[in-house]
Amino acid sequence: MQHSLKRRNETDSCFFLSRYRHRSSMATLNLSSLQALSSHRLCSSFPQNTPTPSFNFQLKPSINPRPISLKPYVSEKPRARVVALAVKSLGDTEALAVSPENDGPAGELPSGAGVYAVYDTNGDVQFIGLSRNIAASVAAHWKSVPELCGSVKAGVVDEPDRETLTQAWKSWMEEYIKDSGKVPPGNESGNATWVRQAPKRKPDLRLTPGRRMQLTVPLENLIDGLVKENKVVAFIKGPRSAPLCGFSQRVIAILENEGVDYESVNVLDEEYNYELRETLKKYSNWPTFPQIFVDGELVGGCDILTSMYEKGELASLFKK
Amino acid sequence: MGVTKEEVESSLKAKLNPSHLEVVDTSGGCGASFVVEIVSEQFEGKRLLERHRMVNAALEEEMKQIHALSIKKAVTPDQWKQQQESNQSNPAA
């Protein structure tokens, strides 16, 4: 009762409905137990007899500009739940297609904060998440697992504080569990498919700000600092994502296979790493590329790294 | 025209006095890339990096024209003997 009164007061005091864009930060809640929802169900079952005018006004911003209505929208619900103040129910929300033809997955989705549900092409719910930027989160999902992103339902939450977002998410989760009798696959405990993925590849390092900038320290000093400040540095021909010679490719494959954290420098980058090749040959007393440094010392080229890899000596080398 | 296989062999023999040497031109004869296997007492007590440096130094002049040098083997006569015996006892290898 007290909680309900508090909620109503907050609603009455809302003179301005504000939404703000926040730097993309996805908050993913995996359902750890049904007990929380059980207690929540007791609260949510409390009926709200008379919707106030501000209640109707509150719903307006969450309506999509171009709604795709498949069933008539009932503007007045006699037994609306408390959380309906923040977001429409999952069943009443229109689904938006996620496909490249729609200017990418973020084309029609709202970029505000709220809750969203991802459906696959069969119309099955794969994941229900909450986000500060729904469009950005769905775009990330699309990039990560496009085969599971057929359409999305989005519920924008005004005044998206943590509690309101969580309540909206819980209401959609509860509604889905009630209808289907199970948890969405993506929300099951231990499923990491929908967690924001870390960047797959580090960018190559650059020694200088560019050709148009005058160096204030000799290139040798930059090289020396670089190999000593980073545990593993590979000077290769081409970028690490697409090495331009077989030896560099082989070195990158070995380092990736070892799972070691390493930096890479493209010695063919004439804009940011100009004059690096000749300087590095003198610095390391090694005439060819790739060159691999560990703990500030040259290990060798592709042959030596391959030899150590085949003898199983790399693990101890990287652990020193 | 690049370096000839004979020139590579000659430089390595003169400077490292190998008991076994094998040089393969992997660039189809135009002398741009080579694979080297070399056995020498001068590698005794040297770690792999230093051995490769010795080979690079022996080919200092040729390296100016070589695009790729692959040193597949740089071992002492004792290591070479062990590898030979190991290969004999295991023909499948």
Given this model, what pLDDT does residue B91 score?
A: 63
CA distance B93 to chain A (A): 15
How large is the average pLDDT for residues A233-240? 93
CA distance A299 to chain B (A): 7
Do A287 and B52 make contact, defined as CB atoms within 8 angstroms?
A: no
Do B48 and A301 make contact, defined as CB atoms within 8 angstroms?
A: no
Residue B92 lies in a domain: no
Given this model, what pLDDT does residue A292 score?
A: 93
Q: What is the mean pLDDT of chain B?
A: 86
Domain of residue B83 covers 3-87
Domain of residue A278 covers 219-318
Residue B47 lies in a domain: yes
Residue B24 lies in a domain: yes
pLDDT of residue A2 exceeding 80: no
- Do residue A244 and residue A168 come from a single domain? no
pLDDT digits (tens, 9 = 90+) for A15-63: 333 333 333 333 334 333 333 333 333 333 333 333 333 333 333 333 3
- Do residue A241 and residue A312 come from a single domain? yes
Residue A287 lies in a domain: yes
Given this model, what pLDDT does residue A223 score?
A: 94
pLDDT tier, A271 (very low <50, low <70, confident <90, very high otherwise): confident
pLDDT digits (tens, 9 = 90+) for A104-134: 555 668 888 998 999 988 898 999 998 878 9
Q: How many domains does chain B have?
A: 1
More confident residue, A218 or A132: A218
The DSSP secondary-structure symbol of B41 reads: G
Q: What is the mean pLDDT of chain A?
A: 72
- Do residue A179 and residue A256 come from a single domain? no
Residue B93 lies in a domain: no
* Dist CA A207 CA A218 (whole Å): 11
Q: Model ipTM?
A: 0.82
Interface residue B49 vs chain A (CB under 8 A): yes
Q: How many domains does chain A have?
A: 2
Q: Which residue from A225, A292, A224, A222 is spatially nearest to A264, judged by alpha carbons? A: A292
Residue A45 lies in a domain: no
- Do residue A180 and residue A243 come from a single domain? no
Q: Which residue from A83, A319, A31, A4 is spatially nearest to A190, judged by alpha carbons? A: A31
**CATH number for position A161:** 3.40.1440
Q: Which residue from A174, A173, A160, A175 is spatially nearest to A61, judged by alpha carbons? A: A160
Residue A203 lies in a domain: no
Q: Which of A73-77, A86-90, A257-261, B7-11 has the highest mean pLDDT?
A: B7-11
- Do residue A183 and residue A257 come from a single domain? no
**CATH number for position B10:** 3.30.300.90
Nearest by CB to residue A300, choosing from B52, B69, B72, is: B52
Residue A227 lies in a domain: yes
Q: How many CA atoms lie within 13 A of A167 on its CB side?
A: 21
Residue with token string 């967690």: A195
- Stretches where chain B sits below pLDDT 70 are 1, 90-93
Residue with token string 């023999």: B13
* Dist CA A204 CA A239 (whole Å): 7
How large is the average pLDDT for residues A261-276? 89
How large is the average pLDDT for residues A266-284? 88
pLDDT digits (tens, 9 = 90+) for A296-306: 989 999 999 99
pLDDT tier, A263 (very low <50, low <70, confident <90, very high otherwise): very high
Do B68 and A286 make contact, defined as CB atoms within 8 angstroms?
A: no
What would the two tokens of residue B19 be?
């008991």
Residues of B in contact with A281 (CB under 8 A): none
Residue A152 lies in a domain: yes
Do B63 and A287 make contact, defined as CB atoms within 8 angstroms?
A: yes
Report CA dihedral (A88, A89, A91, A97) to the nearest 10 degrees. 50
- What is the chain B residue with the closest CA to A292? B49
Q: Where are the beta strands (DSSP E) in A31-148?
A: 95-97, 114-119, 125-131
Residue B71 lies in a domain: yes
Residue with token string 């025209």: B1
pLDDT tier, A206 (very low <50, low <70, confident <90, very high otherwise): confident
Residue B18 lies in a domain: yes
Distances in Å between the Cα of A97 and the Cα atoms of A64, A88, A152, A307, B89 are: 14, 19, 6, 52, 66
Find which of B36, B49, B79 to mutate to test the A interface (most A CBs within 10 Å of its CB). B49
